Amino acid sequence: MAENERIPVDFHQAMFRIAAIAFVTAATVNVASSFIGASHVDVAGIGIIAILSYVGAAVSWFFPWHRLPVERFLVVIVMPGLVLLGFMLMATGGVRSHILPIFIAPAVFMAAAYGFRAGAAIALLTAATGTLPLFINGWDNYYARTLVVLAVATMLCAYIPARVRRALLNEYETRRRQQEESYVATIGALAAALDAKDRYTEAHSRETAELAVNVGKRLGLQGEQLRLLEYGALLHDIGKIGIPGYILQKPGPLTPEEFAIMREHPVIGERILASVPFLAPLGPIVRAEHERWNGTGYPDGLKGEEIPIEARIIHTCDAFHAMASDRSYRKALPSDEIVAELRKEAGHQFDPRVVDVMLELIEHEPPHITAAAQASGQPAPDAPISGPRSWAQHMQTIEVLGQQLARATSTQAISNRIGETIAALVPQDQCRVLLMNEDRTRLDVVYLSGTDSEEYRAVTPENAAVEVGEGIAGWVAESRRGVVLGDTEHHPKAAHVPGTDVIDESMLAVPVVFEDEILAVIVVLKLGLNQYSLDQLRLLTILANQAAVAMANARLIDRLASAATVDALTGLMNRAAFEEALNKQMLRPQSWGTVLMLDVAKLREVNDAYGHRAGDAVLKRIARAIRASIRSDDLPSRWIGDDFAILSPGLDAGQAERLAKRIEAALQSDRISIRWGVAEYHGDALTAQDLLAAGLKSMAGKRDDLAAA
């Protein structure tokens, strides 16, 4: 088998289980047929062959073949089977044996598992085994003719599964490439988000990745490991998304406190990557990128070989790039100084092997550095904070907020942090954070505080939500400009909250904007007229800017996670996510319920007659009917094409049938009809795959019944 040909684990397991079934079938048929019309039977010989066959079946079924490079010792696997066939042939009459057709099985199995060449080779070996009776019992013309026909038939039977295998592998490779493209697209989206926050980081990460790949190749990294190295280098600074912009873009050295916040970015980066399944393997690499060979790095103090080799390479390349590029506090270092620093820190900060390769690379292929000067710098000596004491305290609170937002990965958590910080910095009787919805038409309240006051007790998230352009919050979202109002109720844009009294109140309202996209609006209210100043508006604007990057990051993570689990057309769970949920449900002790499989009748005719848009509209309508009919505990999914699947814990088959009828009734259409099948599960009696197969079989059976009727 070619080295670059990737065989799925499921394929290996299926092939060897087919072999197990073949062992059992051959032995059983041999034993049963040996007694038909026979005056004398070698019971002991046939029994020994049967026992050996059943042992071979058990080994084929239960042994973890997929963990071994079985293609390297196929002869060891196949020869016992051929020997067994030879014994069976002689024990059942030699040239008078009736089991010669069974000799086709090994060649078919090998062709399906390892391709036509392997199948053809085994076909020749089985034909050679089949000639034994001619040498032992003497020449027999009829047997010889049968053997020639069998050899040709075996070759033909080997060719067919070999072609099927090739088609399956091509399909597998196509899907793997699609997954790889999705992987790269995800990396591109994250890199673009980081690029929007720090232009230096984009060029730095790209050039560091190129350098790391060159070093990795020289160290012998290949395949998946080299790919992880490249992607890890591209995203090694992704955690800076969670670092406040005023630190990243500070025009000068960082204070010790700011540098402490900056040191959090490897942990933030790991958390971001862990939330995206395709990128999860990069998490440990990004987290360990600032670890040092002698154990003095951060965040975990790893040392030596404890640090992943990819992280050691990236750390050295990162340091080289930093020394070779301009910074705000110094110019790029000369090449000889960089070489001296690398040699000095080999065995201390850097892996000595990586340094040796890096020095060799610098000597023969000097890297080309194009990254622009970075705006932020190194820690600076402590300096007194100028300005009023209150502003110094405010900035300290904002720094703490930046650390907290770096750890928050959900919009709700970010809104809560912002609201709590506002309560500490700005006098207020009520604070609202209104989040822009996906349709960009409405602002929904995700954080609301201060409802204990009598004047605001009737305010709820429902009645405080506004349309874009409606009320002061909607006006701020539309204009993207913050406002300070001394008399909220009498402002021309005011929209009174239904169910509340007209009161004298002041307001601060600021938009949360990222890359010219409005994400939310923050509103602060205080009883009384003219309670706020422009300084407080500026402070609230700083807080909104802090929230903007964190919210944009959270939305990106949510969208990436959703894209991995949700069907884009119907909004239901996709097949991969449904299979994962079903497997988890089946692993629960004493779990029981049903899987309901649904199929749209005559969708192909709809597509042919009215176009695929009409077919898509049908699928969306069925998805809406499913949502309207199921319980909160049920898990609906678009299974594949026009098939849907619903996991219903705690429902029996009859209740699942009634659920299917409710869905059909909810369609409210004479032109759309559905078919369904039901499969029950009790504890761990079935695997998830068996359960789904049973549901599909049930649905197919009903389809056949309808066709017969």
Q: What is the pLDDT of residues 392-416, one digit of tens each?
A: 555 556 666 656 665 666 778 888 8
Domains of the chain: 9-171 (no CATH), 198-369 (1.10.3210.10), 389-563 (3.30.450.40), 575-708 (3.30.70.270)
- Interacting residues of 346 by C-beta distance below 8 A, sequence separation 6+: 352, 355, 356
User: Residue 511: which H helix or E strand, with range?
Assistant: strand 505-514
Question: Using omega within 30 degrees of 0 as the cis cutoff, is the peptide bond preceding 101 cis?
Answer: no
What pLDDT does 26 receive? 66
Q: Residues 549-594: pLDDT tens digits?
A: 788 777 776 666 666 678 878 888 888 888 888 888 887 777 888 9
The model's confidence at residue 123, banded by pLDDT at 50, 70 and 90, is: confident
What is the mean pLDDT of the segment spanning 421-434?
85
* Rounded alpha-carbon distances, angstroms, from residue 527 to 426, 434, 485, 493: 13, 20, 12, 19
Highest mean pLDDT among 75-89, 388-402, 554-568, 687-701: 687-701
Centre a 10 Å sphere on the Cβ of residue 139 and count the other Cβ atoms it contains.
Answer: 10
Q: Where are the beta strands (DSSP E) in 557-673?
A: 592-600, 635-640, 643-649
> How many angstroms separate the Cα of 329 from the Cα of each of 325, 377, 380?
11, 6, 11
* Contact (Cβ atoms closer than 8 angstroms) between residue 92 and residue 99: yes
Give the phi and the psi of residue 453 in degrees, each rounded to 5. Answer: -65, 140
Tokens matching residue 682 = 């009790």
Which of helix, strand or coil describes residue 665? helix
pLDDT in tens, 429-473: 899 999 998 888 899 998 998 877 788 888 998 988 999 988 999
